[in-house]
Structure 1
Amino acid sequence: MKFAKYILTGLIGVASLTSCVDYLDKEPDTELTLPMVFEDKTRIEGWLANVYSAIPDPYWGYTNTLGWEILADDQTPSERWRQWGWKVIPYTLGEWTPNSDWEGEFWKRLPQCIREANIFIENIHPLPAQGISAKEVEYMKAECKFMKAYYYYLLANTYGAVPFKPDYIAPTDFVLADLMEGQTPYYTVIDWVDKTLLEAADVLPAKYTEARKYGRATSIMCLAVRARMLLFAASPLVNGNPDYADYKNDKGENLFNTTPDPQHWEKAVQACKLLIDEAEKSGYKLYTEKKEDGTIDPFMSYQNLFLKRFDEGNTEILFARPSSDYGSYEKHATPTASGGSGGLGVTQSLVDAFFMQNGLPIDNPSAGYKEEGFSTQKVTLNNTIWDEEVNGGAITYENTYNMYCNREPRFYVSVAFNNSYFPTEKRLFDFFNGAADNTHTHDAPQNGYLIRKRVSPKTNVKEKNYQYRPGIVYRLGEAYLNYAEALNEYKNDYTSRQEALSYVNKIRERAGIRPYTLEAVDPAVAQKIHVDDTQEAVRKVIRAERRVELCGEGIRYDDLRRWQEAEGTLNGDFYGMNYNGKDAASFYERTVYQTRVYKPAYYWFPIHQSEMEKNDKLKQLPLWK
């Protein structure tokens, strides 16, 4: 039986629901009671799927509903899409208040699912006659513990400080304000989530052999969430931020630490390393594809990392959401003339972030970067990424703007630029004003680019032909970069910097670019790139690698927040190519397409004013008015 069929028919198929509501209310023609549910295997599985249902969609959720990508500086939608419900677009322009509606609705949805998990844990019991053994009950209880911890992590990550009563079961659906309690200090919640994830990890398997269980919680998922959470919790936004010194709850307790504590970095190091060790021991590894000569094909490896399923050998996936709306994502990244909405692009700053083919950033004098002028010939770089028979495996063609030439493989997998290959129609993109891919409306590239990353070259939007793939919530590549960062921040010494770079280099090896070294480099050989033996120098290359490797995956916004760099990065003019340009002379010029506003309050989502009015013990998040 096909793996996709298991996904559609198995328990997690129910998890495509957009919110977690009381399961007893789902069958209006049937008077369901808790005993009726927990004496029936099908209804038990339905309830459990309901607990899973609020896991964010890494495709359309990160892009539109939650908006992590739009709030950051990787993806950029057409600003005029706000009239069709893109509620986060005004946020990027400074139009964000405690009365602003947010489709993510974590404050309402996640507590409802936490409640459903508590009810499940309290009522589930073995049903041997229906195939639910005591061991299966133990697993399902641990899954619910994981989901509770995961949802509280999401709440703390979004709002900073939230009311906290993890085992509470309200008589009906509720939101956090209904607890009629003030917020709990940030690290109190984090410590509970940390402990609970470890408890669940001790029970759950590292992976499942049954395809129908794909997407169910595993020990590796527990450790992955824990590692990401503790990295955030060690970062400057929450670990010793003096800006929050006066932010206290209704009991007078400080909700954030105002003095940096290096032990938070130590915990992050240990959590990241434990995840890597346990994952690799269980057979998880970076996804790669090889060329005929046995070397890594960086183009196919990076492209198919996001398109291949776990059962197709993609064991880099540590945490997946089997049901995701990749169709809407791909439609908005496809030109209007080809059946799409054609306005989901990338920022010029992301274009500039990708390295050159020699592994150096474009601002390095030795990188060989040229912005002006055009190429004179086709370049293939010995790859088979799209359609070799049609385009000869070309990466760039004659008359390609030099800005896009001689860049690293991940750039060509991630960015659709003018004169680059469009595999669906076996032609080149034409983003000039009035040309095939720029109708000069809201459904056109507003700054001369479309997102290519995570878009299948086999997708044909016009024919509604989409290629199934899971939504990746967490992967091993991120784990390596998380560990590198935590290690460099915690231990300021040569040995730690060397180890940190070794994990960055695992990513760069797959990407097909030169590794870093702390040792002296012979310029005549130049097989490696020298990095100064300082914490700041290694921090710089780790952050640059994160920007490129993890772009478009919903991670960048949290990075900018936790580093406290959002105000500097997300304020001011955003650039691209000239959307109005009708020829090369006018199109290829850095042009401001949007001016963004990021206020100090924006580091946390505000508690909606309607919730504040329900509970006078709540304190609005810092600097919101």
Structure 2
Amino acid sequence: MKLFKYIITGVLGMQLLTSCVDYLDKESDTELTLPMVFEDKTRTEGWLANVYSHVPDPYWGYARKLGWDILSDDMTASERWRQWDWKVIPMLLGEWTPSTDWDGNYWSRLPQLIREANIFIENVHPLPDQGISATEVTYMKAEMRFMIAYYYYLLSNTYGPVPFKPNYIAPTDFNLADLMEGQRPYYEVVDWVDKELKEVAEILPAKYTEARKYGRATSIMCLAVRARMLLFAASPLVNGNPDYANHKNKDGENLFSTTADKTKWAYAAQACKELIDAAEAAGHKLYTEKNDDGTIDPFMSYQNLFLTRYDEGNTEILFARPGGSEYGEYEKHATPAASGGSGGLGVTQSLVDAFFMENGLPINDDNSEYVEIGYSVSDETRDNTVWDTEVNGGTISKKNTYNMYCHREPRFYITVSYNNSYFTQEKRVFNFFNGSADNPHTHDAPQNGYLIRKKISPDLNVKQGTYKYRPGIVYRLGEAYLNYAEALNESDPGNGDILVYLNKIRERAGIRQYTTGATDDNFIHVDLNDQAEMRKLIRAERRVELSCEGIRYDDLRRWKEAENVLNGDFYGMNFSGKDNSSFYVRTPYLKRVYKKAYYWFPIHQSEIDKNDKLVQSPYWN
């Protein structure tokens, strides 16, 4: 391996540049200075690309490395995979301390990338002979400002209050003590990110015409991150939470707001609407596929939303991960072991229960027609889709399917693989009974009777190593609609836009929409002025529409519901069942532990030991 020597401003920069060797490659007897880097187009663009490297991976990142989907109550991984260093699995069981390592490593890595972005801003300049114009430099500097703000958002979203010096680069004669900063209050970071993203949105274009810039920062991405952050900042966890009244930094400052401020909901609603208006003006819309008669096919629309590229017409994407995602491992772990996969990445029973019935009602509604005992007596088909014939073996659900899974809404079938559902890869139904090919009763098997189907390509073939490219969607318009509906309901109950944007999601989902009028075959009556009822409906819609997209865990945190939802036994079908009577029994498979401390990641003990100006995250001491 070649040796590299870098001369830069500050010792920390030396550490940072070691992550950039691919584009700073030099012969071992030469020295590469910062001016030399930024006199070369390839190295300049390589530096910029590296700053993007910690944008979360919506597939394998949320499933394993960051673990947001596993930490929530959406997805479940085989508990015995911990022997292969799945670091989030012990966390589920309460085996979590300030000395626990986490693959996300935000506390260490994101400040390094923030510093790289600041160095880029200070040093980049036009290279007209190499095709970098002054306009391009303006855009690239704005991109780096976006990334700095985005990474501060991720830090504050994970740890709460963090050390905060956004434009600081250590000088060459720095003293180590100068770098030892304490935390600043949570809202100080949020307020700065808010203003910064608004300013940068005025500089960046809404979209690019060059394919090579796919995933690069846009004005829409700025507004999207801002809206999501402000929704979190308005929520009970951080908006006057009395649990944090005594959480102060070493200077005695309160690190969280001690008084609830309802105007934060109105500000979040405004930010969400600004995003929606700007996105729609730029041509973004919900992704749909149509039947021959012009109606929406809800099955194909929801399935292919996650498999269709932006340049193929999927303009619902507002923020995609540049460089793609690690979807191969995601799909492999959702494929049975006998079919070449690892077969233990599933969904929870609570998510199965959350999906609506075909008539748009939740399963616990007296009029839902939900049945949990017995089996279907015929194949189920529907006339609003081609998904059954083109993807699912000719049916929505097969004869002899457990009634729990029959006559559910379209998103259920796109999200969940259950026993006797269709396995497209091998053109057969799944058999999750103990001892079957799909359940060898090992760690590589569905521990609770389910595998994840959402974001899995029907063209997948793990045995042959066939994986179809798809975008890594970090933020989409569907989330923006639901964020706006929630913020409006909290700030302006009864506002008609609440139903407008909630119903846009339900229309695409192929289920009855809500109305203030009478219930009929197309609509369900709701009391729009009943804030508590609407809150329940909005949260229920978020649960299914945004499931397994890295969002649910933050929802449970910000609503202060994680302690209630993520504690105790998690259920599924009986992993050991060998026939209908023994398999179709709600059975505990995992006992989760969620303490009050877990709402925020702890600062790793090694960082606390190095810096006496830090205070540990709430309740971790």
For this structure pair, what is the TM-score category when the shorter chain's length is used for normalisation? over 0.9
Q: What is the rounded CA distance, in whole Å, between the counterparts of 2:458 and 2:599 in structure 1?
A: 36
AA aligned opposite 1:374: Y
Counterpart of 2:551 (choices 529, 551, 555) is 555
AA aligned opposite 2:513: P
Q: Which residue of 2 aligns with 1:381?
A: 382
5 Å-filtered alignment, 1:151-550, equals: 151-170=151-170, 179-322=179-322, 323-382=324-383, 388=389, 393-492=394-493, 494=494, 496=495, 498-519=496-517, 521-522=518-519, 525-532=520-527, 533-550=529-546
AA aligned opposite 1:56: P
Deviation at 1:171, TM superposition (A): 5.8
Deviation at 1:384, TM superposition (A): 5.2
Q: What is the rounded CA distance, in whole Å, between the counterparts of 1:483 and 1:235 in structure 2?
A: 13
Q: Which residue of 2 aligns with 1:593?
A: 589
Deviation at 1:393, TM superposition (A): 3.0
The answer as to whether partners of 2:388 and 2:396 remain within 8 angstroms in 1 is: no
The answer as to whether partners of 1:178 and 1:614 remain within 8 angstroms in 2 is: no
Q: What is the rounded CA distance, in whole Å, between the counterparts of 1:383 and 1:170 in structure 2?
A: 61
Residues 337 and 57 of structure 1: CA distance in aligned 2, closer, same or farther (over 3 Å) = same
Deviation at 1:382, TM superposition (A): 2.7
Q: Which residue of 1 aligns with 2:58?
A: 58
AA aligned opposite 1:220: I
Q: Which residue of 1 aligns with 2:104?
A: 104
Deviation at 1:181, TM superposition (A): 1.3
Deviation at 1:391, TM superposition (A): 5.7
AA aligned opposite 1:111: P
Q: Which residue of 1 aligns with 2:6?
A: none
The answer as to whether partners of 1:177 and 1:611 remain within 8 angstroms in 2 is: no
For 1:216, what is the secondary structure of its paired residue? coil
The answer as to whether partners of 2:240 and 2:257 remain within 8 angstroms in 1 is: yes
The answer as to whether partners of 1:227 and 1:268 remain within 8 angstroms in 2 is: yes
Q: What is the rounded CA distance, in whole Å, between the counterparts of 2:231 and 2:540 in structure 1?
A: 17
Deviation at 1:177, TM superposition (A): 9.8
Q: Which residue of 2 aligns with 1:606?
A: 602
The answer as to whether partners of 1:20 and 1:109 remain within 8 angstroms in 2 is: no
- Size of the alignment, in residue pairs? 599
Q: Deviations over 1:175-232 (max 9, x none)?
A: x998211100000000000111111110000000110110100000000000000000
For 2:54, what is the secondary structure of its paired residue? coil
Q: Deviations over 1:79-130 (max 9, x none)?
A: 0000001000000111000000001000011001100000000001111111
Deviation at 1:31, TM superposition (A): 2.3
Unaligned runs of 5+ in 1: 1-18
Q: Deviations over 1:505-535 (max 9, x none)?
A: 000000000001123x15xx34211112310
AA aligned opposite 2:425: T
Q: What is the rounded CA distance, in whole Å, between the counterparts of 1:610 and 1:71 in structure 2?
A: 24
The answer as to whether partners of 2:485 and 2:502 remain within 8 angstroms in 1 is: yes
The answer as to whether partners of 1:481 and 1:504 remain within 8 angstroms in 2 is: yes
AA aligned opposite 1:554: G
Deviation at 1:163, TM superposition (A): 0.3
Q: Which moved more, 1:263-272 or 1:370-379?
A: 263-272
Unaligned runs of 5+ in 2: 1-15
For 1:575, what is the secondary structure of its paired residue? strand
Aligned-pair Cα RMSD in Å: 1.7
Deviation at 1:380, TM superposition (A): 1.5
Q: Which residue of 1 aligns with 2:618?
A: 622
Deviation at 1:388, TM superposition (A): 2.1
Q: Which residue of 1 aligns with 2:11?
A: none
Q: Deviations over 1:395-420 (max 9, x none)?
A: 10110000000000000000000000
Deviation at 1:389, TM superposition (A): 6.4
AA aligned opposite 2:91: Y
TM-score norm. by structure 2 comes to: 0.94
AA aligned opposite 2:563: E
Q: What is the rounded CA distance, in whole Å, between the counterparts of 1:237 and 1:281 in structure 2?
A: 33
Deviation at 1:168, TM superposition (A): 1.3
Residues 20 and 243 of structure 1: CA distance in aligned 2, closer, same or farther (over 3 Å) = farther
Residues 177 and 293 of structure 1: CA distance in aligned 2, closer, same or farther (over 3 Å) = farther
The answer as to whether partners of 1:21 and 1:50 remain within 8 angstroms in 2 is: no
AA aligned opposite 1:516: Y
Deviation at 1:386, TM superposition (A): 5.0
Q: What is the rounded CA distance, in whole Å, between the counterparts of 2:384 and 2:294 in structure 1?
A: 13
Q: What is the rounded CA distance, in whole Å, between the counterparts of 2:513 and 2:383 in structure 1?
A: 20
The answer as to whether partners of 2:98 and 2:605 remain within 8 angstroms in 1 is: yes
Deviation at 1:385, TM superposition (A): 5.5
Q: What is the rounded CA distance, in whole Å, between the counterparts of 2:189 and 2:339 in structure 1?
A: 48
Q: Which residue of 2 aligns with 1:23?
A: 20
Q: What is the rounded CA distance, in whole Å, between the counterparts of 1:518 and 1:98 in structure 2?
A: 50
Q: What is the rounded CA distance, in whole Å, between the counterparts of 2:592 and 2:398 in structure 1?
A: 34
Q: What is the rounded CA distance, in whole Å, between the counterparts of 1:592 and 1:108 in structure 2?
A: 37
